[in-house]
Chains A and B, each alone.
Chain A
């Protein structure tokens, strides 16, 4: 990702190159200049000038079968590689099909540049064919956006777009390119006024030492970590600090893998489907050290009952998160990596571990007490056990992407992660249809790693067309389809909170997924019984090409524990 200095240098270089070029050429060359080699896109009228130039560039273009697939593939690519992703679409319906992906990238802080064609400038505002105001539509869900009005602006604009997408708290940036601007040839280059904001590098030394004082005084301290650890490149620093202080850790959905799942100080995921040991620890801690997390309601439950007796140290690169939902006693803004490595509470004083020993014992004894039980009655496939076994047998470097629903929570609860980039899930937006395109994007970004998509029978249908993209490019993605013939998560809520009034959640008319896969020329097989699971995992992991394992599971299986919405995390319901 571009640094501020590189960005400034790029702006000067752009100004010096004055060969006559079209807007479309300038766009694609500027993208290449960012070091991008792979883009996801779908052509159409308004973006045709760009597609006309595309074959003459070094860019590899992946044609997904729906613009939403392009957007989510770009997200999967960005999350697996740590680079900025790129997605391209035409105006009107092409652009609106990107909207869900843009929102997904916004809520999960994923750096992606989205480029849309637009009707010619003179037709803008006339309700022209395939005209929508995509900049207006997406204004609340982008980090920034542009309408390119002059080809001479494009090189500087593109460099700034990639810079903004990746800097600070990452996020999506949109460039809307009218067709006439793409066609217009110019020798001009406009110097782009650089707006990068000056942000503090890290918390003040005064706040660092106040945080250290709080840590030294605490008897029941706890780390509450989130997606910011991975995004702020703070994994190693977090692990080092945790090992130095021996303070227990709970994680959000997005923070999973920041500590290995079997790390001695790790208690598990907190929140609505969190582990009991993790939720109880939050309730009882006297100091919450929040790193790259934002008090999301799925993590906190009823906010005023969350960590009621705790002081709060909040570290986040986005100052707008600090004090937003819970007042911080000490805040450390700027780089999480730098803040985590600066914190050294016991540098001058010997570490009185005895002070937190009873707390640690309580936390760890609860962790053993509430270990998962993988014994389930009957012969049917028990999804949590399947996922547990699959993730232990897959290579350590395997990446899991998933869709949204019960299967997503089972992945979070039962799979083993030792790096946050190993777990790619739609956390903030909770977007059904995310898993398959994100998986193919991740596999293209990390071709040497095993990538497994865990999907549900509801979710997979939302972007099922991307099976064709797997076939077209021979992308060896491994799909585990957990088919409970239901919109399982909604069904579970209707069972538990709506007195079993099941309404529009039954999917027992699902297509034969293995035949669907076959029609897309993707290898597929069905697992119906528990006794078939081991061989199924073998076949899945051994496959050379794309493969779909269709697993039939019990409709009535639920995700436990469950904190009812609006209730305290202490009120966990169980089986």
Chain B
């Protein structure tokens, strides 16, 4: 983590939380989403996916970072950049240290 990043925007390693992601039903929709989460520096711990009546999917995914400065808001924006993603938001967030 760099000096300039050490402000409210970034948190040191130990970011975890749950994301709620709404997905369109297009081919590879889960892979695209989970792949982006992994490539952007997070492991997923728990994945729940259910189809809604309108055909879209609700994906709940609990993630933990793999180290380095991470910011879940940026991850949400990176997910929302995908064309299969309708929206992505944090629904819960804790620091690993606080859980101990």
Bound: A570/B31 CA distance, A: 43
User: A326 and B4: CB pair below 8 A?
Assistant: yes
User: A320 and B77: CB pair below 8 A?
Assistant: yes
Interface size band for A: 20 to 34
Interface residues of A in 128-161 (CB under 8 A from B): 135-136, 139-140, 143-147, 149
User: A323 and B9: CB pair below 8 A?
Assistant: yes
User: A323 and B73: CB pair below 8 A?
Assistant: yes
| Residues of the A chain whose Cβ atoms lie less than 8 Å from the Cβ of B92 | none
Cβ of A429 under 8 Å from chain B = no
User: A147 and B3: CB pair below 8 A?
Assistant: no
User: B74 and A136: CB pair below 8 A?
Assistant: no
Binary per-residue interface labels of chain A (174-200) against chain B in the complex, 1 for a CB within 8 Å, 0 otherwise = 000000000000000000010101000
Minimum CB–CB distance for B19 against chain A, Å: 15
User: A323 and B71: CB pair below 8 A?
Assistant: yes
| Residues of the B chain whose Cβ atoms lie less than 8 Å from the Cβ of A195 | 24, 83
Interface residues of B in 1-54 (CB under 8 A from A): 2-5, 7, 9-10, 24, 26-28, 31-32, 35-36, 39
* A173 closest partner in B (C-beta): B83
User: A140 and B39: CB pair below 8 A?
Assistant: yes
| Residues of the B chain whose Cβ atoms lie less than 8 Å from the Cβ of A325 | 5
Bound: A324/B24 CA distance, A: 26
Contact of A136 among B9, B31, B77 (CB under 8 A): B31
| Residues of the B chain whose Cβ atoms lie less than 8 Å from the Cβ of A306 | 4
Chain B interface, number of residues (Cβ within 8 angstroms):
26
Minimum CB–CB distance for A319 against chain B, Å: 5
| Residues of the A chain whose Cβ atoms lie less than 8 Å from the Cβ of B28 | 135-136, 139, 145
Identify which of A136, A195, A302 gathers the most chain B CB atoms within 10 Å of its CB. Answer: A195
Cβ of A387 under 8 Å from chain B = no
* A176 closest partner in B (C-beta): B27
Minimum CB–CB distance for A232 against chain B, Å: 16
| Residues of the A chain whose Cβ atoms lie less than 8 Å from the Cβ of B35 | 139-140
User: B32 and A139: CB pair below 8 A?
Assistant: yes
Bound: A323/B36 CA distance, A: 18
Contact of B3 among A144, A164, A304 (CB under 8 A): A304
User: B4 and A303: CB pair below 8 A?
Assistant: yes
Cβ of A327 under 8 Å from chain B = yes
| Residues of the A chain whose Cβ atoms lie less than 8 Å from the Cβ of B78 | 320
User: A308 and B4: CB pair below 8 A?
Assistant: yes
Interface residues of A in 319-344 (CB under 8 A from B): 319-320, 322-327
User: A303 and B2: CB pair below 8 A?
Assistant: yes
Identify which of B4, B27, B36, B84 gathers the most chain A CB atoms within 10 Å of its CB. Answer: B4
Bound: A2/B74 CA distance, A: 28
User: B5 and A304: CB pair below 8 A?
Assistant: yes
Interface residues of A in 512-554 (CB under 8 A from B): none
User: A320 and B4: CB pair below 8 A?
Assistant: no
| Residues of the A chain whose Cβ atoms lie less than 8 Å from the Cβ of B31 | 136, 139
| Residues of the A chain whose Cβ atoms lie less than 8 Å from the Cβ of B83 | 143-144, 164, 195, 197
Bound: A142/B93 CA distance, A: 30
Cβ of B96 under 8 Å from chain A = no
User: B27 and A319: CB pair below 8 A?
Assistant: no
User: B4 and A327: CB pair below 8 A?
Assistant: yes
Minimum CB–CB distance for B37 against chain A, Å: 12
Binary per-residue interface labels of chain A (294-332) against chain B in the complex, 1 for a CB within 8 Å, 0 otherwise = 000000001110101000000000111011111100000
Bound: A140/B38 CA distance, A: 11
Minimum CB–CB distance for A203 against chain B, Å: 15
Bound: A306/B2 CA distance, A: 11
* A303 closest partner in B (C-beta): B2
| Residues of the A chain whose Cβ atoms lie less than 8 Å from the Cβ of B95 | none
Binary per-residue interface labels of chain B (65-94) against chain A in the complex, 1 for a CB within 8 Å, 0 otherwise = 000000101100110111110000000000
User: B74 and A320: CB pair below 8 A?
Assistant: yes
Minimum CB–CB distance for A333 against chain B, Å: 10
Contact of A318 among B36, B73, B81, B84 (CB under 8 A): B81
* B69 closest partner in A (C-beta): A325
| Residues of the B chain whose Cβ atoms lie less than 8 Å from the Cβ of A164 | 83
| Residues of the B chain whose Cβ atoms lie less than 8 Å from the Cβ of A324 | 74
| Residues of the B chain whose Cβ atoms lie less than 8 Å from the Cβ of A143 | 83
* B3 closest partner in A (C-beta): A304
| Residues of the B chain whose Cβ atoms lie less than 8 Å from the Cβ of A136 | 28, 31
| Residues of the A chain whose Cβ atoms lie less than 8 Å from the Cβ of B4 | 303-304, 306, 308, 326-327
Bound: A144/B82 CA distance, A: 7
Interface residues of A in 259-312 (CB under 8 A from B): 302-304, 306, 308
Minimum CB–CB distance for A547 against chain B, Å: 43
| Residues of the B chain whose Cβ atoms lie less than 8 Å from the Cβ of A304 | 2-5
Interface residues of A in 175-232 (CB under 8 A from B): 193, 195, 197
Bound: A199/B74 CA distance, A: 16
| Residues of the A chain whose Cβ atoms lie less than 8 Å from the Cβ of B7 | 327
| Residues of the B chain whose Cβ atoms lie less than 8 Å from the Cβ of A146 | 26-27
Contact of A147 among B5, B24, B27, B80 (CB under 8 A): B27
Bound: A231/B7 CA distance, A: 32
| Residues of the B chain whose Cβ atoms lie less than 8 Å from the Cβ of A323 | 9, 71, 73-74
Bound: A304/B71 CA distance, A: 17
| Residues of the A chain whose Cβ atoms lie less than 8 Å from the Cβ of B39 | 140
5 shortest interchain CB distances as A-B pairs: A304-B2, A320-B77, A327-B9, A144-B83, A304-B3
22 contacts between A and B (CB under 8 A): A135-B27, A135-B28, A136-B28, A140-B36, A143-B83, A144-B82, A144-B83, A145-B28, A146-B26, A147-B27, A195-B83, A197-B80, A304-B5, A308-B3, A319-B77, A320-B77, A322-B77, A323-B73, A326-B4, A327-B4, A327-B5, A327-B10
Q: Given contact pairs A144-B83, A326-B4, enumerate 9 new A-B contacts (beta carbons under 8 Å).
A: A139-B35, A146-B27, A304-B2, A304-B3, A308-B3, A318-B81, A320-B74, A320-B78, A325-B5
